[in-house]
Structure 1
């Protein structure tokens, strides 16, 4: 089955937000710029105090009474004025009457706030309504500090659990005679107009009281938007990572504040800390915690982020806590590898490949090419350091010299063991911190001659983002052309502050094709497409052209032996902006659409802009076809629709629920060539495994490195038509890396080499073959 059709997200109820999106579409078509939406965390003065009890109870002063009525407007005695609250089903928003589930222990507990409570999950042996329920209160959108107390003066028969919105407040608190109650405070953001309190995951949870107060100055603080695995998720793979999607108010997270004290993972039952590495993405828009070894199977874990985490401007994050439970894990079958340390250490290794001279070549983020002899057992000899790129950067006075990030390497087909010719991509180095890398500063060059000491630039002034989206990898195709992955300049197609408000250019977010036969005899081709540049990739004599578009940030690409071009691609974290279709359409839509020759002038669909889209994209593997579109908008090419649009009220592949229902995908979208690599995977390096090791069980499969979620290698089966299967994870030897970035195979031995950016090393994976 095609994996794109397995991509499913829960569809929210169509509410005012959908109607607003429809209005934005109309305004867009009329050429009217809509006002920016009200931020989800707008300031609010709303507060409330709730005493859960029986219908006959007089609540504690300053509190309103809840005794189990279904959700609705409250007009009864001691229930305040103008408030809406009450009970709904545990799995949906259907009002639920739990009247009769309140208890009052009277003198057994002198504290009246703790003496009364409501059963959220009444056991079968008790009198009342046995259906478990959630409690909700209508509140203005905003961020709140919510305090909740659970417990009972006379009974210890509970495992109290409370989820508030999408966070955990209390998890499996089993009371004792010495500790009958537990009180916890969480800071949560409400975007849908209802504060939700759920006992999901608990047993006989009893809620005593709750207070809601607005969080002062909340809009000035970044926070966690969502996490993967989500709060209360079950069956989570024990080999995965925890990735938090961020809601930023300025630049990205300060990586220096990400420590095992500020971001933690603990076993929920025991509080035992899990050894882990904590990092962010190159864009600074996620927090990633990766255990150094696999998690225990069938175990509940708690993920916590404290206010010790800050952004690059020093703003503290709003704290977060969530829980999840692992599953049993997956078997590995007959395929297994052993990890072996190598002599390649101490460098920020990026790309890796085997050269025509039988040696291993590795590029670094600061411009070195490292070369290693490969021993018979696959281990590496002493390093040979090639500094040609850095020397050229210094000689020409390039920005950031001598450092340059070399992300792409490909040996020319004309290379020989004694005369290798290495094509590379070269970029200004982004070392983190406040993003400000110069645009048009990337290039493609050749290294040749003795010790690859001759630097020849062939393409100059490629576009570049302010962070780590740049000119990435290279691969020669079966036609002799060089194919290049060029990163996007922003999150979701329109300029946004997290990415320095840089718009897309004509060549960004694409796979480019370079025809070496069309290069001049000397000098680099300046491909700057905007003033002062005049380069036109659609010109008949253009050496660098657009092969496929809408490919947001593909680090690597591989031509498979079946003739297909595959490229793993990073989707955007939440919070990006998408462009609106202008009216009238610009004249460029006639000449700057790569499908114009087959589909004619562009006529639609038209879409509204989305500001700070709250839903993150997944990561992808694309089966790239010439002149097709893969979902990242670029107004410079008259591409406006993000991913799969939102064509129907049902669930659609790669849908964007912020669009109004009926929003069709771009007419050129190659939905059949889009596969799901997993949310926050940071799917990067890729290789086709070509060895017959393991009796051919791995031969022909795609191996995709996941830098972020998982920090592993996942494998995709490839059928006779080039279609990919669902990915396999958990293969022995393919897990537990530290920010792995790239992988290559020594096909003569079936061994693999993985660059681990987080550990500054290259790790050998040696096939484990049974005797």
Structure 2
């Protein structure tokens, strides 16, 4: 029995009282901390995805470039847009490898910052019509020595361009700017008109990035009092049937000195959804839903106010009739960093990034997501539609596709695959339920879907299930081929280095783990590791070994094993599951 003196009892009582006060008055902070520290993935629940593996294939070293979008055309060739505006066409070999066929230069020797790339639904193998999103300016991402940027174009330099490419040569047969005057500004010149997708009716959608961190002036030197525009932080929809005969269509809005009104019934370009801070990519799923990812803002940014008497107040557009609360205060230096999310985009919905011009004042879910006292009791905007999936902070989800191949007996079919730039991997999400939100998630790293180099975009060849991923940092495209699990084990057994590390992991296991978990991981006084769902997934397993189990039954080993030893024993435990 442990005896405590009077001073120790007083300290313990004060500690307990402090903890109770935190739990009562700051439950949101506690929940946020726990969720950020412990990410438990439902990796392979009930063995649903057991047997799924991909083999990484490093393609020819001549395939080099900062590729921002990948698509497979109606001619069954792979097209890759480079960040400087060039488009590369590759023949897909029977092995899945790529062979460069043509390089298209729509802007000649000039560079235009390019992200989006999508084929028009009316395209065919001999009529290749492709749309791109681009900008006249460079950014913090990349600097061009041959950009046509000039000062009066910086703020409204975003464009949507329609091209027709030759099916036989590298000639660009047609080059039209369809839309110009998209907002393109902010402290870092880093958020743009992003990826493009068409729906089944031929309407074009793209995400337009935000111009601020949290909706109001980032207040950096020489910055304007506010920086959001009417069209920023949105999903925009273009009805090409309403385009005027004279192009390009200038969509610079009144807040920028233009005349375009996206709220008019006959406007070709309209706002489909708002509050989408910076969605790199989006996909129309076969379930009829539009999904996109949101990169959350860093902390210490500023939010707007709905109080007309505040010196920070920015009045909404005259066409906006705001009837909401006027007690939403501005925050200078909002905390913490916001998480990254996936949303199921509904027309007319709001998704958390404020814009005072549209009378959208509340950041994300209000008090749930913001620690500052100004948001105490503040609820989400009445039009906030919620998040479908929470990636956690600083994940940088970028490319997104629906996996359509029937390989692996269709186990991955209709799952959503998302590249996570900061984790150098792909995460697999399954939509379902009455709302068709994300109901299950799986770590792609367990299936071999991991690479170095900052994965940015991806595309699937639905014929064979091959996945191609562009690496922004490693300047290439990586191929992932579906393989049978038993074949993977044979390949591994011939790898001398792999076997050596596996043997090391086995030794560590025998010396430290088998007393509790059994000689072959089958379980003894501790759980069976072969079938233990909680321990599945390399990152999750490493976390548990390092920090101990959540219920305290297993101790932490971070002070007894080195990081390399933890990795090697994790690999050995995962090999038992094969």
Task: Tell me whether the two structures share a fold, i.e. TM-score over 0.5.
Answer: yes
Q: Do the aligned partners of 1:360 and 1:372 also contact (CA within 8 Å) in 2?
A: yes
Aligned partners of 2:327, 2:95: CA distance in 1, in Å? 58
1:487 aligns with 2:206: no
Q: Secondary structure at the match of 1:731?
A: helix
Identify the residue that residue 564 of structure 1 maps to in structure 2. 289
Following superposition, the deviation at residue 362 of structure 1 comes to 0.7
Change (3 A) 1:403 1:70: farther
SS state at 1:591 partner: coil
Matched, 1:689 2:414: no
Contact 2:308 2:326 survives alignment (8 Å): no
Task: Give the CA deviation at 1:497.
Answer: 3.9
Q: Give yes or no for contact 2:303–2:354 (8 Å, CA) kept in 1.
A: yes
Matched, 1:762 2:459: no
543-552 or 420-429: which moved more?
A: 420-429
Provide Cα deviations, 1:422-447, integer angstroms capped at 9, x if missing partner: 00001222245899992111100101
Cα distance in 2 for residues equivalent to 1:383 and 1:89: 72
After superposition, the C-alpha distances for 1:41-64 in whole angstroms (9 at most, x for unaligned) are: xxxxxxxxxxxxxxxxxxxxxxxx
Would you say 1:592 and 2:320 are equivalent positions?
Answer: yes
Tell me the CA shift for residue 452 of structure 1. Answer: 3.2
CA distance in 1, matches of 2:19, 2:263: 56
Contact 2:54 2:447 in 1 (8 A): yes
Check whether the contact 1:366–1:429 (CA below 8 A) recurs between aligned residues.
Answer: no
SS of the aligned residue for 2:196 comes to strand
SS at match of 2:301: coil
Distance 1:93 1:442 in 2: 52
Where does 1:423-442 land on structure 2 (aligned, <5 Å)? 423-427=131-135, 428-432=137-141, 438-442=154-158
Report whether the alignment pairs 1:516 with 2:225: no
Give the drift of 1:69. 4.5
Report the Cα offset of residue 727 of structure 1. Answer: 2.4
Relative to structure 1, the CA distance from residue 692 to residue 417 in structure 2 (aligned partners, 3 Å threshold; closer, same or farther) is same
1:234–1:415 distance in 2 versus 1, CA, 3 Å: closer
Residue 731 of structure 1: how far off its partner (Å): 3.0
> 2:305, 2:328 within 8 Å by CA — same for their partners in 1?
yes
Match in the other structure for 2:389: 675
**CA deviation profile, 1:267-291 (whole Å, cap 9, x unmatched):** xxxxxxxxxxxxxxxxxxxxxxxxx
1:445 corresponds to which of 137, 145, 161: 161
Aligned-pair CA distance for 1:549: 0.2
Instruction: Give 2:457's aligned residue.
Output: 742
Please list every run of 5 or more consecutive structure 2 residues that lacks an aligned counterpart in the other structure. 21-25, 27-31, 145-150, 488-578
2:428 match: 715
Alignment of structure 1 residues 340-419 onto 2, 5 Å: 340-343=57-60, 345-388=63-106, 390-391=107-108, 402-419=110-127
| Distance verdict in 2 for CA 1:355–1:633, change over 3 Å | same
CA deviations over 1:622-676 (Å, ceiling 9, x no partner): 1000001000000111100101112xxxxx4x565544332121110002x4421
Give the SS at the match of 2:437: coil
| 1:236/1:645 CA distance change after superposition, 3 Å | closer
Q: Render the CA deviation track for 1:473-513: whole Å, top value 9, x for unaligned.
A: 10001221100100000100011046955610000000000
Deviation at 1:228, TM superposition (A): 12
Distance in 2, Cα, partners of 1:384 & 1:336: 32
Change (3 A) 1:94 1:470: closer
For the residues of structure 1 that align with 2:437 and 2:38, how far apart are their CA atoms?
30
In structure 2, the CA distance between the partners of 1:627 and 1:751, relative to structure 1 (3 Å rule), is same
Quote how far apart the aligned CAs of 1:604 are.
Answer: 2.6
- The 1:560/1:333 distance shift into structure 2, 3 A limit, reads same
Aligned partners of 2:159 and 2:180 also within 8 Å = yes
Q: Is the 8 A contact 1:470 1:486 kept in 2?
A: yes
Match of 2:324 in 1: 603
Task: Kindly tell me the number of residue pairs found equivalent between the two proteins.
Answer: 445
Pairing 1:336–2:44 present: no
Give CA-to-partner distance per residue, 1:587-616, whole Å, 9 cap, x none. 7467337xxxxxxx5333631111111201
Cα RMSD between the aligned structures? 3.3
Structure 1 contact 590–602 (Cα < 8 Å) conserved? no
- What secondary structure is seen at the aligned counterpart in 2 of 1:669? coil
Cα gap change, 1:89 to 1:349, in 2 (>3 Å): farther
Higher helix share: 2
* TM-aligned CA distance change 1:623 to 1:531, over 3 Å: closer
Equivalent residues in 2 for 1:127-526, closer than 5 Å = 333-343=50-60, 345-388=63-106, 390-391=107-108, 402-427=110-135, 428-432=137-141, 438-450=154-166, 451-465=171-185, 466-497=188-219, 503-526=227-250
What whole-Å deviation, never above 9, does each CA across 1:725-750 have from its counterpart, x for those lacking one?
Answer: 24221332222332110111111111
The alignment status of 1:638 with 2:359, answered yes or no, reads yes
Q: TM-score, normalised by structure 1?
A: 0.54
Deviation at 1:678, TM superposition (A): 2.1
Please identify the structure whose Cα radius of gyration is greater: 1
Aligned to 2:512: none
Equivalent residue for 1:555?
280
Q: How does 1:81-96 map to 2 (within 5 A)?
A: 93=18
Per the alignment, in what secondary structure is the counterpart of residue 300 of structure 2?
coil
Mark the CA change 1:531 to 1:431 in structure 2 (over 3 Å): closer, same or farther: closer
Q: Deviations over 1:184-243 (max 9, x none)?
A: xxxxxxxx9xxxxxxxxxxxxxxxxxxxxxxxxxxxxxxxxx99997xx57899x9xxxx
In 2 relative to 1, CA 417–434 (structure 1 residues): closer, same or farther, beyond 3 Å?
closer
Cα distance 1:743–1:71, how it changes in 2: closer, same or farther (>3 A)?
farther
Identify the residue that residue 268 of structure 2 maps to in structure 1.
543
- CA distance, structure 1, for counterparts of residue 317 and residue 111 of structure 2: 39
* 2:247 aligned with 1:533: no
Gapped runs of 5+ residues in structure 1? 1-66, 73-85, 96-191, 193-225, 240-329, 395-401, 594-600, 647-651
SS at match of 1:493: coil
Distance 1:227 1:587, change over 3 A: closer
CA–CA separation in structure 2 for the residues paired with 1:497 and 1:455? 39
Where does residue 105 of structure 1 map in the other structure?
A: none
Please tell me whether the aligned partners of residues 368 and 387 of structure 1 are also in contact (alpha carbons under 8 angstroms): yes
